[in-house]
Amino acid sequence: ADAPVRIAVLSQDAVSASVCDRTTGFVDKMVEVASAYGTVSVEGHDKWAAKADGASIIIEVAVSATTEAVDVQNAANALLAKADLAAVFCSNEGTVTGFLSAVSDGEDLADGGKYADLIVAGFDAGAAQKNAVRNGWFYGSVTQDPYHIGYYAVEMAVAAANGEEVADKDTGAQWYNAENIDDPDIALLVYD
């Protein structure tokens, strides 16, 4: 508790179901994992806050004022100003873009850079994010599976048109990093 470590999640809003679910999932799992190492305090946005005194691990939830790139960058800069920041999870492509803007398009995350020791992970797979992963500036990212998103949508539409009952379906996601980004099963999923 005398030298807490801060792990942040950067989200571009607190209303979008998918972004909120990613943020909630990250916070819930990080609390579960981090609790094995000490007292965990969830701070930042009121929607997720669960402050604990004497915390050795702080999970900081940062939500930008709007979804505009400059506001996401400002939220990222506020996180980067915290001396105890050890890691950041960017919950979607918008937060990745804003975060990369705050770190000189990733250069500040490179070896010898101002934030070279910061662990960063993202979600989605735009060109800037793939570049950050390829360069090792991001530890890695999660990508959705656009093929199965489309496939299951058609499958369920046909079933519904035939009067069959349909339900939500997990379309899957994959972790990618510099080592596997070009693997055939991952390369198909990392889109621009």
- Three-point CA angle 3, 4, 7, nearest 5°: 145
How high is the mean pLDDT of the chain? 94
How confident is the model at residue 13, as a pLDDT?
Answer: 85
How confident is the model at residue 15, as a pLDDT?
Answer: 86
How many helices (H) does the chain have, and how many strands (E)? 6, 7
Contact 34, 119 (CB under 8 A): no
Read off the pLDDT of residues 127-148 as tens digits, 9 standing for 90 and up.
Answer: 999 999 999 999 999 999 988 8
User: Is residue 117 over pLDDT 90?
Assistant: yes
Report d(CA 11, CA 18) in Å as an integer: 11
How confident is the model at residue 192, as a pLDDT?
Answer: 78
Half-sphere exposure of 105 (CA within 13 A, CB side): 3
Q: Which residues pair with 58 in a beta bridge?
A: 6, 41
How confident is the model at residue 16, as a pLDDT?
Answer: 86
